[in-house]
Amino acid sequence: MIIRPDQKKDPSQALKAGDREADSPASRSSPLPAERAPKTDPITRSGETVEGAPPETLGPEEEARKYKDLALRAQAELENTRKRLEREKRDIIKFANENLIKGLLPIVDNLERAMDHAAPDQANAASLTEGVQLILGSLRSLLERNGVNPVTAVGEKFDPNFHEAVMQEENPEFDEGTVTREVQRGYLLRDRLIRPAMVVVSKKPASAESNGQTA
């Protein structure tokens, strides 16, 4: 704007023009971005490793001891696995016929019952008894050849590891807790019990029990 010499500049207009210049976007100064602090490595504490530092290297002797220890451990584990597999293999071979033998035992039981109840006064009873006895003897021999033996019961002290008590009875011929009768024979397959013996066990006579309570 041109001002003639005869015109005087209005101070208020000049002030308004100065305000407009001050409020213009160009006059506003944008703040500088804050400077980022430089990244520094974490401070190393005692017993800690600095982040990004290379792992500690072992000396030749220490490294040799380390790999020797690993080799010994691997060898021990391999030996334990080999022994376990050999033991499992022996057990499989040793008890491979267990199910077959368990299936034969009821046949032996029935033949023994037939022998116990055979009436000697019946016709041809002698020949029938002899035939059953031969079959029973063959089966017993077969079981014995395969490592099957009966559990000793009558006259023995009752043992829950081998005997299963079905009842108790007073019997003056046996001490208390002794097996007096065998209801069903038990069997061992080598050193393993495959069926306990079902037995009758002796107990104190009632008179002895009453005398003990009175005393």
Question: Average pLDDT in the 138-155 region?
Answer: 88
Q: What percent of the chain has pLDDT over 70?
A: 65
Indicate if the pLDDT at residue 20 is higher than 80: no
Residue 128: how many CB atoms within 10 A of its CB?
15
The reported pLDDT for the residue numbered 57 is 76
CATH 2.30.22.10 fits 148-205, yes or no: yes
What pLDDT shows up at residue 4?
A: 53
Per-residue pLDDT tens for 53-97? Answer: 555 676 788 888 888 888 889 888 888 888 888 888 777 777 777
Which of 138, 140, 152, 142 minimizes the C-alpha distance to 193? 152
For residues 169 and 177, give the distance between their C-alpha atoms in angstroms, rounded to a whole number.
10
Residue 188: the pLDDT is 92
Domain locations in the chain as residue ranges: 148-205
Neighbours of 129 (CB within 10 A): 16
Residue-wise pLDDT tens digits, 194-215? 999 999 999 887 765 555 555 5
Reported as a single tens digit per residue, the pLDDT across 129-142 is: 777 888 888 888 88
The Cα–Cα gap between 47 and 125 comes to: 96
**pLDDT tens per residue across span 102-124:** 888 888 888 887 777 766 666 56
Q: What is the mean pLDDT of residues 183-199?
A: 91
**Nearest residue to 179 via CA among 195, 161, 196, 163:** 163
Alpha helices in 33-97 (DSSP H): 60-94
No. of helices (H) and no. of strands (E), the chain:
5, 6
